[in-house]
A and B are shown apart, each in its own frame.
Chain A
Amino acid sequence: MERRTFVRYIGTLGTVALLMPDLLACNTAKSKISVNRLGAPLDRGHLLRGNFDFASDYPVEKMEIPAVIIGGGISGLSTGYHLQKKGFTDFLLLELNETVGGNSGFGENRYSKYPLGAHYLSLANPQNRALIDFLKEQGLITKEENGRQYYLEDFLCHAPDERLLFKGVFHEGLVPEYGISPETHAEITRFFDQMKVLKEAKNTDGIDLFNIPISQASINSDLEALDKITFKDYLNDQGYHSEELHWFLDYCCRDDFGAGSDKVSAWAGIHYFAGRKAKPGNTDPTTVLTWSEGNGFLTNILEKSIREQVKTHVLVYSVEELDDHVLVQAIDLKAQKKLHIRAESAVISSPSYVAKHILKSPSWPQSYFEGIHHNPWLIGIVVVDEIPEGNGTPLAWDNVKFGTKGLGYVSDRHQEFGQHRDKHVISVYLALDREDEQTERRKLFQMTDEEMCDLVVSELTSMHPLIEQHIQSISFQRWGHGMVTPYPGALAKYQEYLRLKSHAKRVHLAHTDYSSYSVFEEGFDLGLLAANKLVNHEA
């Protein structure tokens, strides 16, 4: 059993996010910037490294409960939220970290909240009833009329939402369209027209080929063929050659999946565009809902509905499916005791690389968990006095530079209602996809503060040459495994999930790793489906 290595993994991953900063100073060429790392403090990681010796004499508490959810990210929280909505409240949700949220967690400094990962929620597809109802219940959708949703203006991304530094000037929007050749322009138009057609494309059963959540799409052999090649190959095959379009689409892939168009599956690349078909009544369909704390806002809503059932600081290390029950074993790190829980059923809402180690179930063979990829991410949360003004569109929510490998930065205080910012808090996102994921992960965890600082600062100076002197501090959030990265074969993996799932008895998998596409909508949907399964099983 490789449980030891798995635990070490978790320890070093920094998933135990006790947000205790170890303050250091990062000395770059010109200025002194104070830096700190978010995530696991060393002693915590040390405890978890290697084995469970530290817990060997912890008392064991035995419990019996109808259902256990393992992992409190969006998928686990959504499972719980839907269970309690259906009147099923006798369950536990176990989360390793101090707080729930996972990739949709958030932090806060003196000036602002900021997301640790997920920043925004796209507008809901009309078929995504469960999500629309949830947003209505929360007042985020104020009404529906003629099949159109009217969103609460306050949390739609305020204007200007995006700007691209292209040819020395900031332009509104991220598509590089300014001063391009007519051929390029025609290519860009053709691409978006093609996506429009694919949005409407249906399988023989009348169901959309592309849809979010993916459970509402119908897969055919055309999609399976697309899943065998990379998005970049697909684009070349289709005769798209312009630098501008290629850069833009590569940027989209890195932004949404953590790897470039030369790495991700063509199915995923198209899915990103063709899967979105929101029909809002009062805003642009491509806009998003966002908050200072990013999707931490949604995490909080979901958590609030099941506060009684959530237990944090609990490391689940074994889930065993037996004939008439599931045995869940865990360590309560705060109360310093072991938990042996006998449950009717369990929902695994932790990622595949965790599930692989903790789960023993006849329905879910080990081999299934291989071949699910996660590229690492580095996020720098930067406090700056001032963002030097560039030419063109002023500071937007999302700020990107054309032609680079970086993803630019998001302004975390953009959604505030007041006019004045004493300090700016911005999140610089870096998807580490140059080499294979293991190498990148190792590099990330060996990086010194200076190296991380240089990466983040150089990303910013490439857009604002004079910004360095204004930087006050940087907090680093490192994700060893970011969201699932859909390499070619990702759709096949999802199909495998569907097959295995149909035979699952007591253990269900609800985590965005298993839908091959990690966004809020998928986590929310997986949670809903798992909750349905549990309730039907009980009944």
Chain B
Amino acid sequence: MHYLLLFTIFVISTCGLIYELVAGTLASYLLGDSVTQFSTVIGTYLFAMGIGSYLSKFLRNNLIEHFIRIEVITGVIGGLSSAILFISFGYSGYFRIILYGLVLLTGIFVGLEIPLIMRILKNKVGFRDLVSKVFTFDYIGALIASIAFPIVLVPYLNLTRTSVLFGLFNVGLALYLIYYFRKELKHPTLLFIQASGASLLLIFAFVYAGRINRISETEIYGESIIYATNSKYQRIVLTRDRNAYSLFLNNHLQFNSRDEYRYHEALVHPVLSHCSKPKNILVLGGGDGFAVREILKYPQVQHITLVDLDPKLVSIFSKNELMTKLNQNSLNNPKLKVIHADAFEWLRNTAKDKYDAIIIDFPDPSNYSVGKLYTLSFYKSLQRVMTNRTLAVMQSTSPLYAKESFWCINSTIEASYLQTIPYHTYVPSFGEWGYILFGYDLNELKVRSLPKKLKYYSTEEFKSMKFFPPDMQDHKKVVNRLDNQALIPLFEKEWDSLFD
């Protein structure tokens, strides 16, 4: 009896502390600002435990059964908390609510445990002795948990598996108690079935936890991965480095929240500020909503059509609260219509309207299938939705690191009988970056309107963007066509040589 008591206390206190640590770590990992996250999580947790001890007095009769049931519930909630948080971070707009809800729930159940134990044992052990033993083992458990957590558990098991493992300890304890008290319990079989079901669930979660959270990827990105998933089309990874977020698609950096405004202002404003009546705007690619955010700064804009292949990506950027903060909730704006389609096929088969401005933000032409979006045939298809006055822009890789590629894109657009204005800017996390503005007639471009309070772009700045020093020039005039895809080998060669 004595040892069982000590053992029970030890397990519940270790588990309780682990859940608290997992929640705190996860919150600071995903949201940043660890001091705030830890103190709010711990505060909530302690408060919840208080609620738990208060509630314990309402539990009467069959105390052992209640205790066993609480162990099972704590094991499942606490054990799955990390997995639930990781998944909800990507899919739901209520991450914080779910986080504190879980912390509260776990806290309440953990809070129920100790008072209940004390009441069970009250008649069996002297009170003084009881209190001192319970608290001694409670503190020992806490100490061991807090040491093991950073040194052994997280590095070797990762967060999700750690919490699942301790959930299993809770449930395991319940199973052991069912066995030990089998004679005194009213419904031993029912309890046994519940507890075994819970342990199966947790074992399953333990096995599949690797898919939910891949700490190993951290090594690739050198930052903490806060969200990673595979959509039908690509691998989407969000990372956080202090308070800056980055998005990687198939391991290519798409933006860093610290300087993306430079990239997106330079992408959108040259076209929109020169556009005489920017009412109906088309965005191809750009499912992150940043280009749309910039477009919405023009009150004249009435409709925006965004064509992006990947619903999952768009959903992250329209639901996740961190991301909607970054893109100012642009993807939920009523002026926006989102179409999930391949841009090239959509242009060829479905597109009907004409657009005043077109913003194209495709991934770099790093393989033959993305490469199709940079071919002569693509620009010809694009012309179906252009009028003589339409202005368009395309992100066009780096004219410094991949200058032949950049100028190949330029020559290809020119070969489709459009005029171009190539320009470039500096985006710290990308380096020197290039864009090509194009349209049927760019001879009399005038600035029509420009939103105030831009962080970076100005008409003055645009003048200097158009200047290309010799190390960014190339005169080969290679045209990229579907049947040669000349851009792909150029792009590969240039970017590869950068890393040699």
Contacts and interface: CB of A to CB of B under 8 A. Distances in A.
Contacts of B348: 417
A284 B348 CA distance: 25
Contacts of B372: 158, 417, 419
A161 B483 CA distance: 8
- Looking at chain A's contact residues, the main secondary structure is loop
Max chain B CB contacts within 10 Å: which of A158, A161, A394, A420? Answer: A158
B233 interface: yes
A154 B481 CA distance: 9
Contacts of B345: 416-418
A156 B342 contact: no
Given A156-B482, A160-B485, A284-B484, A420 B369 contact: yes
B376 A420 contact: no
Interface string B219-246: 0000000000000110000000000000
B92 to A, nearest CB: 26
Max chain A CB contacts within 10 Å: which of B233, B373, B380, B484? Answer: B484
Contacts of A394: 367-368
Contacts of A43: none
B309 interface: yes
Given A158-B372, A160-B368, A417 B481 contact: no
Contact of A157 (B232, B367, B483): B483
B488 interface: yes
A154 B46 CA distance: 66
A283 B481 CA distance: 9
Given A417-B342, A418-B345, A419-B342, A153 B482 contact: yes
Interface string B336-371: 000000101100100000000000000000011111
A158 B367 CA distance: 13
Interface string A403-426: 000000000000011111010000
B459 to A, nearest CB: 36
Contacts of A283: 481, 483-484
A159 B233 contact: no
B375 interface: yes
A287 interface: yes
B483 A420 contact: no
Given A158-B372, A159-B368, A153 B342 contact: no
A282 interface: yes
A419 B488 contact: no
B342 A159 contact: no
Interface string A254-285: 00000000000000000000000000001110
B482 A422 contact: no
A419 B378 CA distance: 12
A457 to B, nearest CB: 26
A530 B430 CA distance: 65
A425 B376 CA distance: 26
A156 B482 CA distance: 8
Given A159-B482, A159-B483, A154 B377 contact: yes
Given A419-B369, A420-B369, A282 B481 contact: yes
Contacts of A419: 233, 309, 342, 344, 369-370, 372-373
A154 B375 CA distance: 10
A420 B309 CA distance: 9
B158 to A, nearest CB: 28
Interface string B101-128: 0000000000000000000000000000
Interface string B33-49: 00000000000000000
Nearest to B486: A159
A160 B485 CA distance: 8
Nearest to A419: B369
Max chain B CB contacts within 10 Å: which of A161, A416, A417? Answer: A417
A284 to B, nearest CB: 7
B382 to A, nearest CB: 12
B232 A153 contact: no
A387 to B, nearest CB: 13
Contact of B342 (A158, A284, A287, A420): A420
A134 B252 CA distance: 46
B485 A417 contact: no
Contacts of B369: 419-420
Interface string A115-139: 0000000000000000000000000
Contacts of B368: 158-160, 394
Contacts of A287: 483
B263 to A, nearest CB: 22
A157 B481 CA distance: 10
Nearest to A421: B369
B73 to A, nearest CB: 41
Contact of B344 (A159, A284, A418): A418
B377 A420 contact: no
A154 B482 contact: yes
A302 B345 CA distance: 26
Contacts of A161: 483
Contact of A153 (B309, B370, B371, B483): B483
Contacts of A160: 368, 485
Interface string A290-334: 000000000000000000000000000000000000000000000
A157 B488 CA distance: 16
Contacts of B488: 159
Contacts of A159: 368, 371, 482-485, 488
B373 A284 contact: no
Contacts of A153: 375-377, 380, 481-483
Interface string B380-394: 110000000000000
A152 B348 CA distance: 14
Contacts of A154: 377, 482
A50 B350 CA distance: 52
B5 to A, nearest CB: 54
Given A153-B377, A158-B372, A417 B344 contact: yes
Contacts of B367: 394
Contacts of B377: 153-154, 417
A28 to B, nearest CB: 28
Interface in A371-421: 394, 416-420
Contacts of B344: 417-419
A283 B486 CA distance: 12
Contacts of A156: 481-483
Contact of B483 (A158, A416, A418, A422): A158
B285 to A, nearest CB: 11
Contacts of B233: 419-420
Nearest to B483: A156
B379 to A, nearest CB: 11
A113 to B, nearest CB: 15
Given A153-B377, A158-B372, A159-B488, A418 B342 contact: yes
Contacts of A157: 483
Interface in A6-41: none
A394 B368 CA distance: 8
A416 B345 CA distance: 8
Interface string B451-488: 00000000000000000000000000000011111001
Closest 8 CB pairs of A and B: A418-B342, A159-B485, A156-B483, A419-B369, A417-B344, A418-B345, A158-B482, A153-B377
30 contacts: A153-B376, A153-B380, A153-B481, A153-B483, A156-B483, A157-B483, A158-B368, A158-B482, A159-B368, A159-B371, A159-B482, A159-B483, A159-B488, A160-B485, A282-B481, A283-B481, A283-B483, A394-B367, A416-B345, A417-B345, A417-B377, A419-B233, A419-B309, A419-B342, A419-B369, A419-B370, A419-B373, A420-B232, A420-B309, A420-B342
Given A153-B376, A417-B372, A420-B233, 15 more contacts: A153-B482, A158-B372, A158-B483, A161-B483, A282-B481, A283-B483, A284-B483, A284-B484, A416-B345, A417-B342, A417-B348, A419-B370, A419-B372, A419-B373, A422-B232
Interface of B: 232-233, 309, 342, 344-345, 348, 367-373, 375-377, 380-381, 481-485, 488
